[in-house]
Chain A
């Protein structure tokens, strides 16, 4: 049984399924042996089961209709064929398969397999989209063939058929989301929020502790936030609320984009070229510790209007964080990787493109997460000084105009939007570094 499990685990469609599901699939599998020259099936036969080569080898000749010739392939241990059995429509064999030596194959009934994985449609679609990928990539069959693979319709509309790229990337994300909902994590998260909110409620409104009693309470803030007719003029029903959010998000987005576009290349070159580093790094390190607030007067002198100085200040902070982390990322790359690349005949530029950039990627994304955090941080500093919109502006003016609940509304909104942006950066990172996601997933994280 262990052997069956191990073989299934190596088979392309089942590589990402859970151990439990794999064990269930293994129960459906039957081992069958054939002698050399035996034909397992002919093109046109009824396709009732999929097959996985356990030992030996099988010749797989697929007829693609008139004019396009045959696709000839030799299947060895771990390879999957007979996938017409999991087609949506008519299940007839597309190929003729002949054993080239004494061969053992695992056979799994297509109907039974599908009714098993239909119970968990999201996982099922991952399996099916891996089938489709395998058909186009390994069998070099046209996309039209792969498109006949059954879909369970859960994540199907966004889980396209071909390509390891977008398709399985999103399917994997959907799969991880469903796993997350089944785990205790979301409930612990809710519990964490509940503790924070009840602490706030109790200290301010029930116990009225000194130092807390003058601050706005939970119920006041929530009432204000949800009021159609807010006392202090700002709630989720007033258009100004969204104007403020939009102003801040837009500034952060522009600043973050500029900081990434300039900071990542700068960091890469700082880490890569010793000479470049000698010139630039001391200057960089002198400018970096200057607090954003110290830049405010210069920013106002340098840029006209209210918008540009704020964007400049926001940009500065995230630029330094991005560039520094990128540089550290390049330095962290094991020297063996670039040595191996040189050994394999890569030029200096190829090493940069193929080793330095992807190797620094995990650090770059750590840097971007820090960078988006400090962007919000310095945005508020900037908005408190100049500007007439934005969440920082809301907080500052509400204080001078004694609208205390609005201060908290501004703070909470900042927190939520900030969390959203760093989650977005993390998601983009996970999507771009599938290798890392899969590696960490195997490490049980």
Chain B
């Protein structure tokens, strides 16, 4: 019980860092001279510490937006800020990747040639911030906190996919990031593992205040996890409907059967379905 009150207090205590501001961003791909607009004048404000769920059909350009924030892709015009500092804009089309914004990838990107512990320790080791011994100590204790003791010396290929995702999140958190960028990380998981992963993610979120930018096409996942839902149009991508999920945090799986959850599902599913149909008709590729 005590624990519940503690997490409640924490979740209300707002994070002060990691606000993302997307201003009028356009991204045009021009692979064979035929310009394809992936993102169309998209603006979005994500306050620090929010779980912002980006929902849209496959191939709508959500990942393009994430890649622009992470610094993997350039943008054609517009600006992206973090905590008021320019990440990318007209004079600097591509952001610098950095450990303040860490991506959790769709298919998982734990290095299969490193043990789970070495993976978790990777960030600080590369940055050379701490001594080796301290880094491994911190990595072990963070893994223990996330229920990963005993898997330290296994290679990622030896543990279940659910555990792998958890290791990947711990690897990100080792760097005290301001923003976590999730690119449909649970897409390949079965629904039972998924539900376990959702609760685990929330638990980690309540302990570590970060902003979460989470891409998904699973509406149930979006409503269960998010403070806010941003439903995107199919390509070119821009916000079509923004919805605040007024179910208080901390949440657990009981939420799924609550009447309010059902109402929100009904309210949004028509919008999402319409976009999915458009995207299907346009013959968008997955991605």
- Any chain B CB within 8 A of the CB of A439? yes
Say which one of A210-218, A222-230, A344-352 lies at the interface with B: A344-352
- Tell whether, in the assembled complex, residue B150 and residue A344 are in contact, meaning their CB atoms are under 8 Å apart: no
The verdict on B43 contacting chain A, using a C-beta distance below 8 Å, is: no
Inter-chain CA distance A341–B97, complex, in Å, is: 10
Q: Is A422 an interface residue (CB 8 A)?
A: no
B155 interface hit (Cβ, 8 Å): yes
- Cβ-defined contact, B99 with A358, below 8 A: no
Closest-CB distance, B247 to chain A (whole angstroms): 31
Cα–Cα, bound, A298→B259 (Å):
84
B152 contact set on A, CB distance < 8 A:
138
C-alpha spacing A438/B158, complex, angstroms: 7
Determine whether the beta carbon of B153 is less than 8 Å from that of A164: yes
Asked if A339 is at the interface (CB within 8 A of a chain B CB), the reply is: yes
Name which of A361, A433, A435 has the most chain B CB atoms within 10 A of its CB: A435
In angstroms, Cα B175 to Cα A350, docked, is: 17
Q: What per-residue 1/0 map shows which CB atoms of B125-163 lie under 8 Å from chain A?
A: 011000000000000000010010111111101100000
B150 touches A341 (CB 8 A): no
A340 close to B158 (CB less than 8 A): no
Q: Which residue of B lies closest to A442 (CB)?
A: B158
Which residues of A lie under 8 Å from residue B70 when comparing CB positions? 339, 343
B111 close to A (CB within 8 Å): yes
Supposing A339-B109, A439-B112 touch, asked if A345 and B153 sit within 8 A by C-beta, the answer is no
Q: What is the CA–CA distance of A9 and B188 in the complex, to the nearest angstrom? A: 25
Are B113 and A361 in contact, CB atoms less than 8 angstroms apart?
yes
A354 contacts B by Cβ under 8 Å: yes
Interface size on A, residues (CB 8 A): 38
Residues of B close to A10: CB separation below 8 A: 150-151
Quote the shortest CB–CB distance from A137 to chain B (angstroms).
7
Does A355 reach chain B (CB closer than 8 Å)?
Answer: yes
B149, A345: Cβ atoms under 8 Å?
no
| Chain B, range 242-279, C-beta contacts under 8 Å to A | none
A337 close to B (CB within 8 Å) = yes
Flag if A77 contacts B126 (CB, 8 Å): no
- CB of A334 closer than 8 Å to a CB of B: yes
> B201 CB to closest chain A CB, in angstroms?
18
Contact A343-B101, Cβ < 8 Å, known A15-B154, A79-B149, A438-B155: yes
CB distance from B13 to the nearest CB of A (A): 27
Residue in contact with B109 in the complex, picked from A137, A336, A350, A442, CB distance below 8 Å:
A336
Whether A345 contacts B112 by the Cβ 8 Å rule is no
A92 beta carbon closer than 8 Å to chain B: no
State the CA gap A332–B154 with chains docked (Å): 24
Q: Is A76 an interface residue (CB 8 A)?
A: yes
Min distance, Cβ B73 to any Cβ of chain A, angstroms: 10
Q: Chain B nearest CB: distance from A191 CB in Å?
A: 33
> If A337-B111, A339-B109 touch, does A346 touch B126 (CB 8 Å cutoff)?
yes
Contacts of B155 in A (CB 8 A): 434-435, 438-439
Question: Please, which residues of chain B bring their CB within 8 A of the CB of A355?
Answer: 111
Flag if A435 contacts B150 (CB, 8 Å). no
B103 at the interface (CB under 8 A from A): yes
A-B contact pairs, 15 of them (CB 8 A): A74-B144, A76-B144, A76-B149, A79-B149, A79-B150, A339-B97, A339-B109, A340-B111, A341-B126, A343-B97, A344-B127, A359-B113, A435-B115, A438-B158, A442-B157
Please name 19 further chain A to chain B contacts, defined as beta carbons within 8 Å, in addition to the given A343-B102, A439-B155, sorted by A numbering.
A10-B150, A12-B150, A15-B158, A137-B153, A164-B153, A336-B106, A339-B105, A340-B105, A340-B111, A343-B172, A344-B123, A344-B171, A345-B123, A345-B175, A347-B126, A350-B126, A355-B111, A358-B111, A438-B158
**Interface pairs A-B: 7 shortest CB-CB:** A78-B150, A439-B157, A344-B123, A336-B109, A340-B109, A358-B113, A345-B99
